[in-house]
Amino acid sequence: MAFFVTHNVKLKGVASCVPRQKAMNADLPDFSDSEKEKLISTLGIEARRIAHSDRCASDLCLAAAEKLISDLNWCKEDIDVLVFVSQTPDYILPGSSSRLIDKLGLSSNCIGYDLNQGCAGYVYGLSLISNIMASSGFKKGLLLIGDTITKLISHEDKSLVPLFSDAGTASALEFSENASPSFFNTKTYGKEYESILVKEGAGKANFASGKTISMQMKGMEVFQFSISKVIPVIDELFSLSGIKKEDIGTFVFHQANQLILDTLTSKLKLDKARVPSTLKDFGNTNGASIPLTATLHLPHTKGTVLMCGFGVGLTIAACIVNCDSLVCSELIEL
C-alpha cells in the first residue's frame, strides 16, 4: 500500500500557460461530419492547444512560474526546491530542472528534481515536493508540470490527434506549521507499461533505429483501466484518511476525456458541479490537466479538494489537499 500523509506543507498557488495556437476538432481532416459530432460529444473536446515547434514544455512552465512568483510576491532567493515533471523534457540529458532554476533566476542553493511521469504526475509531484519540504525544513518550493505531448503524436493517428493538447503549469508550496495534512494514495501497474508507450528515442530503441518517434496508446485498455481501477484507489484514500466524500468540496480529476470523467462522477455518485472539466477548450493536457483545471476552477475555493491522476505507467495517484486561500493566477497564453 502506498498511502501516506504529509504535514506542514501548504499549497499556496497555481498558474498555467497554454500555447496560443488552437486546433479545432470540428476541423479535423479524414473524419466525416457524423464521426466528428460523435467524437466531440463523447470526448467533450472541441479545441486543443498546440505548442510551436521551437517551444518546449519547460517554456510553458517557465511562463507559468514567473506569473505565479509575481502574484504571490515571492522572493526568488527564498525558493529552496524545484520539481519538474514532464515526459517531454528539453533533452534526454541533462534534466530540465537545473536549466529552469537558472532561467527563473533562482539561487544556486535551490535543489532541482526531474520526474518522468504523465497523467498521474501532478499528484506524484505534489507528494515528492511535500515530502522533501516536510523533512528538510525547506520553506518554499515550486512544482512545475507540463508537456508538449502533441509533438509525440503522428498527425495520421486518428485516435490520438483529437485528444491531446499542450500546457505547462506551476504550483507553489510553502512550509507552514499551521497547514492541514495532505493525504496520498497511489497504485502502480507496471505490467501494463505498453498501454501508453513511446518506444523510440531512449535506451530500448534509440534514434539509430531510424524510426519516427510517436506515441502509441491502447485506448480500450486505458479506458477499462480508468473506469475499473481508479475508484478503488479513491475509496481506499477515504478509508485510510478518515475523510468522507461529503467533506470534499471539489474533485479535480485528470482530464482524460469526458466519457471517463462522467463515468467516474457517476460511480462516485457526485453532483457534476463538484467535478470541473476543462476538456472542451483545452483537451487532454496529460500531467498538466489537474493544475490547469485547478487554475481555472479553484479560485475562491475553500476547503478540501481531491485530486486524482491516472494513466501512463500504468499508475494511479490520488490526494486530498486543503485549498483554502489558493492563489489561482490568470491563464497565460504564449
Partner 1 sequence: MHSKELNTFLDLMRTLFPEEENGVISEKTDVKRLKEWSSLQNMIVVSEIDKVYDVIVSIEDFNSSSNLEELFEKIQSKRN
Interface residue with partner 1 among 21, 98, 214, 263 (CB under 8 A) is 263
Shortest gap between Cβ of 314 and partner 1 (angstroms)? Answer: 15
Q: Is 214 in the site for partner 1 (CB under 8 A)?
A: no
Choose the stretch contacting partner 1; rule: CB under 8 A; options: 115-123, 184-192, 199-207, 220-228: 220-228
Which grid cell sits at 273?
Answer: 458541479
Interface residue with partner 1 among 5, 7, 42, 303 (CB under 8 A) is 42
First-to-last C-alpha distance (Å) of the chain? 41
Sketch the per residue contact string, 152 through 181, with partner 1: x for CB under 8 A, - otherwise: -------x----------------------
Angle at 319 between CA 318 and CA 323, to 5 degrees: 140
Place of cell 498546440: 50
Shortest gap between Cβ of 253 and partner 1 (angstroms)? Answer: 16
Q: Which residue, 34 or 178, has its beta carbon nearer to partner 1? A: 34
Choose the stretch contacting partner 1; rule: CB under 8 A; options: 44-52, 103-111, 176-184, 223-231: 223-231
CA distances to 82, 252, 276 from 324, in Å: 23, 15, 17
Shortest gap between Cβ of 219 and partner 1 (angstroms)? Answer: 5
Choose the stretch contacting partner 1; rule: CB under 8 A; options: 148-156, 194-202, 218-226, 326-334: 218-226
Q: How far apart are CA 179 and CA 155, in angstroms?
A: 46
Number of residues that bind partner 1 (CB under 8 A): 17
Interface residue with partner 1 among 34, 53, 108, 178 (CB under 8 A) is 34
Q: Which residue, 208 or 220, has its beta carbon nearer to partner 1? A: 220
Task: Judge contact between 186 and 237, C-beta under 8 A.
Answer: no
Shortest gap between Cβ of 110 and partner 1 (angstroms)? Answer: 43
Interface residue with partner 1 among 20, 38, 155, 272 (CB under 8 A) is 38
Which grid cell sits at 17?
Answer: 500557460
Contacts of 119 (CB under 8 A, 6+ apart): 254, 256, 286, 287, 289, 309, 310, 311, 312, 315
Shortest gap between Cβ of 79 and partner 1 (angstroms)? Answer: 42
Interface residue with partner 1 among 70, 135, 224, 239 (CB under 8 A) is 224
Shortest gap between Cβ of 50 and partner 1 (angstroms)? Answer: 21
Q: Which residue, 96 or 265, has its beta carbon nearer to partner 1? A: 265
Rg, C-alpha atoms of the chain: 19
Q: How far apart are CA 222 and CA 159, in angstroms?
A: 13
With b for 16 or more beta-carbon neighbours within 10 A and e for fewer, the 278-307 pattern comes to bbebbbbbbbbbbbbbbbbbbeebeebbbb
Q: Is 228 in the site for partner 1 (CB under 8 A)?
A: yes
* Distance, C-alpha 117 to centroid of its chain: 9
- Among 48, 9, 3, which Cα is nearest to 232's? 3
State the residues that interact with partner 1 by CB under 8 A. Answer: 34-35, 38-39, 42-43, 159, 219-221, 223-224, 227-228, 259, 263, 266
